[in-house]
Amino acid sequence: MLRIWLVGLALVAGCAYVASSAALDRAAAEAASASLPSDERLDALLAAHDWTGLADALSHAKTNDEAARRLDWLSAKLVAGGGALLGFLYSRDLWSAGQQIKSDDPMGDLRVTAGLFTLYTFMLIAIDGAMCEDQSAPSRRVDQLLEANQPILQFLKAQRAKIKAKVIDLALTIERKTAPLRKDDDFLCRDGLDQILAGLEGGQVKDVAPPPGGSGKTYEVTAPPDYKPKFLPPSAYEPEQRKAREAMRASLQKLIE
Q: Is the pLDDT of residue 151 over 80?
A: yes
- What's the pLDDT tens digit per position in 193-242? 998 888 888 777 777 777 777 667 777 778 888 889 999 999 999 999 99
Q: What is the pLDDT of residue 214?
A: 66
Give the CA distances from residue 208 to residues 213, 214, 221, in Å, rounded to whole numbers and listed in that order: 14, 12, 10
Name the pTM for this structure: 0.82
- What's the pLDDT tens digit per position in 44-102? 999 999 999 999 999 998 898 999 999 999 999 999 999 999 999 999 999 999 998 87
Q: Is the pLDDT of residue 244 over 50?
A: yes
- Percentages helix, strand, coil for the chain (3-state, rounded to 5) are 60, 10, 25
Q: What is the pLDDT of residue 196?
A: 84
Q: Is the pLDDT of residue 43 over 60?
A: yes
Residues 6+ apart with CB under 8 A from 205: 199, 219, 220, 221, 222
Please choose, from the candidates 257, 229, 254, the residue with its C-alpha nearest in 3D space to the C-alpha of residue 83.
229
**Strands across the sheet containing 204-208:** 10-18, 2-7, 217-222, 204-208
DSSP string, 107-156: GG-HHHHHHHHHHHHHHHHHHHGGGBSSTHHHHHHHHHHHHHTHHHHHHH
